[in-house]
Chain A
Amino acid sequence: DAEITQSPRHKITETGRQVTLACHQTWNHNNMFWYRQDLGHGLRLIHYSYGVHDTNKGEVSDGYSVSRSNTEDLPLTLESAASSQTSVYFCASSLRTRAPLHFGNGTRLTVT
């Protein structure tokens, strides 16, 4: 079965370190998204991509970057981790615009 896999599931890092969260999907979807989930804020869009070499900023993109070198992967990089980036991060994909999203199981990141 097709799936979307995030790794690691849990990560603890120190302030100032660079961190990369992996997202790999086998749906062959063009569209991929990164969200963060925080109490009181719901889901907020960080970055998204509509295809290889395409990346776009979401509503909370400061301090994050992504690159899309193939269809399957959209890694999320925190250039210099801050405590405000402690959160649960979800990757999602969709076949096309306006199609439902498929989500990974999330990465819980703690920045100390």
Chain B
Amino acid sequence: GNSVTQMEGPVTLSEEAFLTINCTYTATGYPSLFWYVQYPGEGLQLLLKATKADDKGSNKGFEATYRKETTSFHLEKGSVQVSDSAVYFCALIPLNRDDKIIFGKGTRLHILP
């Protein structure tokens, strides 16, 4: 079946460090891929998305590239800030009749000043 696996947290980094949060998926065909972010006390917000192979989604300095060959959609940022502390969710919407979104379990990120 369809699934999303992302690295377990928490991930703790110092401000200005490079960030990678790994995400791999299992799905048939070409699902749409997403990263959502959840700040404390809030709901999830769409951070970026990609809908086909080799697409790069980007927003607020974050990037992720849709890699069909490795079934991955890793989230990266070159220089993190304290305000990036949040929980990050990788997600996919499969390309089939059962097309509800499937979320990974989330990765908590702590950025130290």
Most buried by A among B32, B99, B100, B106: B100
Q: Give, as a whole number of angstroms, the nearest-CB distance from B41 to chain A.
A: 7
Residues of A within 8 A of B49 (CB): 100
| Complex contact B43–A90 (CB within 8 A) | yes
| Complex contact B42–A105 (CB within 8 A) | yes
| Complex contact A98–B99 (CB within 8 A) | yes
| Complex contact B100–A105 (CB within 8 A) | no
Q: If the complex has contacts A103-B44, A106-B43, are A98 and B93 also in contact, measured as CB distance less than 8 A?
A: yes
Interface residues of B (CB under 8 A from A): 32, 34, 36, 41-46, 49, 89, 93, 99-101, 103-106
- Given A4-B43, A42-B104, A106-B41, 12 new contacts (CB under 8 A): A42-B89, A42-B105, A45-B100, A48-B100, A92-B44, A97-B99, A100-B49, A101-B44, A101-B101, A103-B43, A103-B44, A105-B42
